[in-house]
Structure formats: structure tokens, C-alpha cells
Structure 1
Amino acid sequence: MLFSDDIELFYRLGVAIAIGVIVGVERHWRERDEPGGSRTAGIRTFSLIGMLGGAVGLLEGAVADHGGPTGLVTVGAFIAFAIVFAWFKARESEIDRDFSVTTVIAALLTFLLGTMAVMGEMQVAAAGGVALVAILASREMLHRFLKTLTWPELRSAIVLLGMTFVILPLVPDEPIGPYGGISPAKTWTLVVLLAAISFVGYVAVKALGASRGEVVAGAIGGIVSSTALTVSNARKSLAGNEIRPLAAGAAAAGAVSYLRTAALAAGLAPAIMTSMVPPLVAGAAVFIAAAFLLARGQGGTAEPPPGENPFDLMSVLKLTLLLVVVAFLSRAASAVFGAGGLFIVSGLSGLADVDAVTVTVGGLLKQGLAADTGFLALSAGVIANTVAKAVYAAVLGKSGFAWWLGLASALAIAAGAAIHLAVLAIQASG
């Protein structure tokens, strides 16, 4: 049997009808001022289209259960529906002089999603219905976006998509070289991430203004790599972009990085959670305050200059090379020093990434490493990463950008240290 019970059958059919209803609401609302009988399809018609797709799915299931040919009912019903609906829509278009095919495509998708809700993945069908309505309802926003889209932006988006979906799958994943080597696939992934961070930052600044846009871009970049975001913003500061918004974005990335490390420490190293999480949260709070204050600085409403490239591929490749070299040297140091040089290895690894240090310390704690030693090793990685980002800002960016980020970083480290001492004092008194 296709369905486990009648309740599931009715539930699936209800989802098919609901997909038609939500699509019909959007289509009817868009033509709500039209007189009755002047539109091809509104809320009732689309509700019936969803129900029709679900009914076809039921018939298809019944035929399959009795050993009939699979797919014949669905294909035949879909072709018949497409011909009839397109004919009615064509007549309406001739009268209204409106030759949009959007409603036809929406009707065909509603039919297919209704069939999928009954026959296949019900959750996927429901998500598809929501996505369909979102696309239909965003017509004005998409039209405004296309009117403001420039050729450098379109070209950069195409390049980024090509880097992600064409080149990345072809790059080999096997590491090359000693000490774990360098994986071409992971290296190219870092190229894509750096380009994506720059592109997201550009879009955010264009949509929200420099202050809010850079903070949002920094928070998003911090989820991926706060180090990469900081290096990218340092480069942009040299290109003439406003310093305070860029520093605000780097501070937001630092805050997210601290919070992410706290979450990883809680999950991977619970033995040091109580001593590690409070200082990280305190440091994140300082970074958040710095980002807020810097975002309120002068000149925070500017947009990118017309024709500016969202990301420069050569600059992205150079930044990737820098981060890959640092990561490779960190692994080499780890192989040379071994477990005995845990603090040195943690500090060196923190020059590029804190996640690797967190995972390593979490594994060693499960193998019997003392909690105090694990806390100091992870702290060394966090501090090294924070200081390294300030150094990258000084070397690769303008002095003003480096000064603001360096000050925020120093205050964040100081706040974390103060909270740690307070926790120790509370534990000693208890």
C-alpha cells in the first residue's frame, strides 16, 4: 500500500490543497482590484489546482498498487491540465495585453507540488510551495534590484557561482606535501569563502549603508572565518573604504568567533566549559560594544562607489595563500613539537584558526589531559588568534583600521581575563 493509514492520506491531500491556497492568495491579492470573471485563476482556482494535483497523486498510487504503469496518470493529467490552463491564460493575455507567463508557471508548479505532497516527500513539497509564494510575492523587490544591478556586480556573481559549482567539484581533495599536506579542494574552498565574504559585505553595504552593512557582513563572516573577514576588511581599508565601518565589521566578526568558540567548547570540552565560556562571552560583549560604537561613527551611511568590484580575484588568491601558509606552518609545528609542545602548537594554530585548537583540546581532554592544561591551551589559541588578527590589520590595512581593531581586541582580552579571575575567586571562596 502507498499509505500507512487513512489519516496520513488525508493529511497529504490537505497539504496539497494548502499549497494551492497559499499560492492562490498571492495571485488573487495581486489582482484583487480586477472585477469578477476577469482573471484566469484566483484563490479558489489555485486551491482546486492543488487538490487536482493531490487527486492525481492518489490515482497514480492506486494504479501502482494494482501493478499498472508508473507515471502514466501523472504525465497524462499534467499535459492535459497544462494545455487547458495555458489556453485560458492566453485568451486573458490577449484581452488585457499582458503577456506574462508567471501565472501559468505558478499553476503548473502548484499542480506538481500537490502531486508530490501525496506521492513523494511531503516536507519538500510544502517547502517548495512556500518558496514559490515567496518568489511570486517578491516581484517588485526583484524588479527594483535588477534596475540597480551593475555589470561588475553581475560579473562577480557569475564568477563566484562558477568558482563554487563548476571549479570546486573538479579540484582534487587529496593533500599534497608533508605534515598533512595542503588539500587543493580545501584551499579552493577558502578562495570561495573569501570571495563570498567580500561579495556579501558589498551587498550588505549597498542595501543597508556602510555602518549597518559592514556589521551584518562581519557577523556573517565571523560564522565562517573571522580571520578571513578581518584580512578582507584590512584590504578594503587600503582601497579607500571608510575605516570605522570596516573596523565595526571586524569587531562583529570577533564577537561571533568568540561565541562560536564558546559553543564548541561547551560541546567538545565540557570539562573546561565553566572556566572557558564566561571569559569568551565577556570578550564577545566587548567586541559587540565596539562594533556598535564604531558603527555610529561619522560617514556610516555611504554606499559602495558606482562600478566598484564586489571582490578582486587576485587579491582573494593572495589572501588565501597567506592563510594557507600560516595553517601549513602551524601543522608543521604541531608535528615537530608533538603533544609536549601543546601550548606552542595551540598558539601557532591560533594564528589561522581557533576551531582546530578547540577540537584538538577537546580530544585530548577525553584522553586524560588535565582540565587546567586544556583551559590554558585553548586560551592560548584564542588569544593568539585575536592578536594575529590585530597584526594582520596593522600589516595589511590602514593605521586607523588597525588602531580601532587593536583597541577592541585588547579590551576583549582584558575583559576575558578579568572574568576568569572573578570566576576563580568565586570558586575559591565557595
Structure 2
Amino acid sequence: MDQGEIFTRLSVALAIGMLIGLERGWRTRDEQDHQRAAGFRTFALSGFLGGVTGLIGVKLGGLFVGIVFAGYAAAFTAFHWLEAKAEQNLSATSVVAGMMTFLLGTMAAIGDVGAAVASAVSVACLLALRESLHGLIATIKWKELRAILVLLAMTFLLLPILPNRTVDPWDSFNPYQIWAFTILIAATSFVGYVAVRVFGNRLGIVATAIAGGMASSTATTFTFAHLAQKNPGSSRILYAGILIAGAVMMIRVGVFTIILNQSLLPDLLPALGAAATVLLAGAGIGLVTDAERDSPKLEIENPLAIGAALKLAVFMSVVTICAKLLSDTFGSTGALFIASLSAIIDVDAVAVSMARLGSDPANQKMAADAVLLAVAVNTLSKVGITIWVGGIRTGLLVAGGSVAALCAGGVVARLSAGS
């Protein structure tokens, strides 16, 4: 390590201490001098001390760094104990912040400078956001905390241990993918819960519909249908959310397919554009009608609705197995039918395969038709999901908007094909 690098690393260590010290000093700015255990200068020197200790430790070994850190931690803790005793303050935040400052200074001197700086910024932000974080925690309900923990357990404990391969005789049931889809539904439900609580009924549903439509319009539809079943007075705004998610899905599939194969643009853009426009118009009518009726606030008892999500996951598994069996039976001769059945679960996969198929001019028309058919089947499947989960009332509203959109898309597709 040359002299220039040593100077740079020590400067970073000092800057880390100054950054954390700036926040700590600002928080105790009203206290008189010599009435606080550590302020701006102490934290700045702590970072610099950590850097110097790290550089010396390169020569003397890690034991030297450990001894100096132990002495520093003992002295810092002792002074903070005296301050806490005088002020009746039981917070250990400054002690931990002081230790972090020393260690990050050491890390900057002998380790990854970028990681040390990023960690220091994170520490400073956590310290500065004390009131905001405490306020946030105070507003969290037990069911919300439980939902967060369950969702994290589903994602980081259960998902990694599931086999990411097919385990059935038909080579179609993948536990990892099915559970991932269940997590997606639960996450969409939770996002919807948070959005409604933060932004209110209308804006929360619209925001969730747009975000959910980008990820999975089927999961979003299921979430809103489940809410409609629990909140019949809010069926119009939830039906509007389902239509918005469907429109976003059509736009997403169209853009995705055209990026992969631009030759499909003339066949897809007019039909998908017309259908999406009708869906958005229907959603607008639903939102306006809901505003006029002043529907009651949505009551969401279960932010995750895992039981309902598992039901849909099982249904999707059955559809996957059926699609695989039909594919093995009919092969390429049933391509359109198989594509439409597969689209109930994943319209994007159909779009990708058809975009590749359409690279051959001879198959271009069939590929475009398959994508449009997949979108239509996916849209109609959401009508079925809404009726199944949300009830007849919401299902009929979604059916009306969806059928109108598909008719508009079909007419435009026919006209564009004939021109």
C-alpha cells in the first residue's frame, strides 16, 4: 500500500466518523459542552482511530486491532454510562454507533472502501430516521407485523428448500414455481393492503392494479376478487382495479412480444391497443360510479389471504398438468389450444414462445393469433376467477368490461387483417 493510498483510506475513515458524528452532534446540539459523552469530534476521531488501528494492525496482526477495539469500546461505554446515569437515559444507540464508527474506519483502512462508505451512510440514515421509524413502528398493527414475518418466512425459509424441478410422472408439477406463485399472490395482497391503508380506497386500488398488472394480473385479479367477496359495497372500485390490471397486462404482453419480434407489430398493436383502451374506459366508469356512490372504506382483515392463495395455486397446478398432457398428446397440431390453456397461468411464456415462432415469416400470422388468443383466454379466465372468488355481482361487472374489450380487439384485428 503506497503513501497516496494510505492517505486516501485514512481520509475516508475520518469522513466516516464525521458523517456519523454530524448526526450524533446534531441530535445533542442543545446540550452544553462537556455534558455529553460523545459529539461530532469524538465520533470523527473514532473513525480516524479505527483507520489508524487497522493500518497498524496490518503490521502487528489482528490481535492488536482486537485489543485496541476492546479498550476503545470499554472507554466509550464507561463515559456513556456516566452520561446515562446523570440523565436517566437508558438508550444504547450511541454506544453501538461509536463501535460501528470505529469498525467502519478500520474497514475503510484495510478492507473495501466502497462497502465501508455505504455502511456508514446506512448507519447515519438509521440514526437520523429515529422519529420516523419509531412513528412507523407505533402505527404497525399485530396482523401487519405477522403478515410481514409470514411473507418473509414463505420467501426465505420455505422457498429455498423446495425442489426447483418437476416431481410428478407427467413432468409438469414444479413445487418451487407453484410456491413462488403463491408468494406472488400473497405479496400482491399485502401490497394492496398497504396501498389502501396509506392512499385510501381509490388511489390505493389503482396503484396496486398498475403494479400488480406489471407482475401478474392473475394474482391481482384474485386479490381484488377476494376483497370484493369480503366487501360487497366496494365491488365497483375493485372491478375497476381488475380491469386496470388486465389493461396493463395487455400493454405489457404487447410491448414484450414486439421487442422480441418487431414483425408482429402490425398484427398485435391495433387489437391489443383497442382492447386495453376499452378496459381502461370501463375502469374509469367504475371509478366515477364508485366516487358518486361514496362506497364504504375497504375492510381487509387478512393482509395475506394465504389460504385463498393456496387454492388458486392448486388450481394453477391442475391447469399446468392438463396443458402438459395435451401437449404430449397432440404435439404441435394443438399449438393454439395448448397456448390458450397455458395462458391461464402465464401469458408471458406464451408470448415469448410465439415471438420466436413468428420469426419465420410463414408462421408470423399464426404466432400473432396465438398471442391474441392467449391474451383473450387469460382475460376470460380472470372473469372465471372473479366469479369463483368474488361472487356473481363483481364477476358480471368484470365480464361486461372484459367481453366488450375482447370484442373491440377482435373487430380491430379483423379490420387490420383485411386492410
TM-score by length of structure 2 reads 0.83
Q: Which whole-Å CA distance do the structure 1 matches of 2:276 and 2:51 have between them?
A: 51
Q: How does 1:196-345 map to 2 (within 5 A)?
A: 196-240=187-231, 242-273=234-265, 275-276=267-268, 280=272, 284=276, 287=279, 291=283, 294-295=286-287, 297-298=290-291, 299=294, 302=297, 304=299, 308-345=301-338
**What is the DSSP-based 3-state SS (H/G/I as helix, E as strand, rest coil) of the residue aligned with 1:140?**
helix
Percent of aligned pairs with the same residue? 35
Instruction: Trace 1:20-419 onto structure 2 (pairs within 5 A).
Output: 20-60=17-57, 62-63=58-59, 69=61, 71-240=62-231, 242-273=234-265, 275-276=267-268, 280=272, 284=276, 287=279, 291=283, 294-295=286-287, 297-298=290-291, 299=294, 302=297, 304=299, 308-366=301-359, 370-410=363-403, 412-413=405-406
1:345–1:158 Cα change, 3 Å? same
**The 10-residue stretch of structure 1 (354-363 or 132-141) with the greater mean CA deviation from structure 2:** 132-141
The CA deviation at 1:195 is: 1.9
Which 5+ residue runs of structure 1 have no aligned equivalent? none
Aligned residues of 1:211 and 1:301 also touching (Cα < 8 A): no
Give how far 1:182 is off: 0.4
Inter-partner Cα distance in structure 2 for 1:41 and 1:247: 58
Separation of aligned partners in 2, 1:124 and 1:345: 50
What stretches of structure 2 of length at least 5 have no aligned partner? none
Mapped partners of 1:131, 1:110: distance in 2:
12
TM-aligned CA distance change 1:314 to 1:279, over 3 Å: same
The TM-score, its normalising length taken from structure 1, stands at 0.81
Root-mean-square deviation over aligned CA pairs: 3.4
Are 1:197 and 1:229, in contact at CA under 8 Å, matched by a contact in 2? yes
Report the secondary structure of 1:338's partner residue. helix
Larger Rg: 2
CA contact (8 A) 1:205 1:214 kept: yes
Question: In the alignment, is the contact (CA less than 8 A) between 2:347 and 2:378 conserved in 1?
Answer: yes
Q: 83-92 vs 269-278, which deviates more?
A: 269-278
Q: How many pairs were matched up?
A: 415
Displacement of 1:352: 1.5
State the shift of 1:19 in Å.
4.1
| Aligned mates of 2:110, 2:271 — CA distance in 1 | 52
Q: Per-residue CA shift, 1:47-88, capped at 9, x if unaligned?
A: 44444444444445x43xxxx64x434433433332222222
Instruction: Please state whether the residue corresponding to 1:199 is helix, strand or coil.
Output: helix
TM-aligned CA distance change 1:42 to 1:185, over 3 Å: same
Question: Is the 8 Å Cα contact of residues 206 and 304 (structure 1) preserved in structure 2?
Answer: no
What is the CA distance between 1:185 and its match in structure 2?
A: 1.8
Shift of residue 119, structure 1, vs aligned partner: 3.8
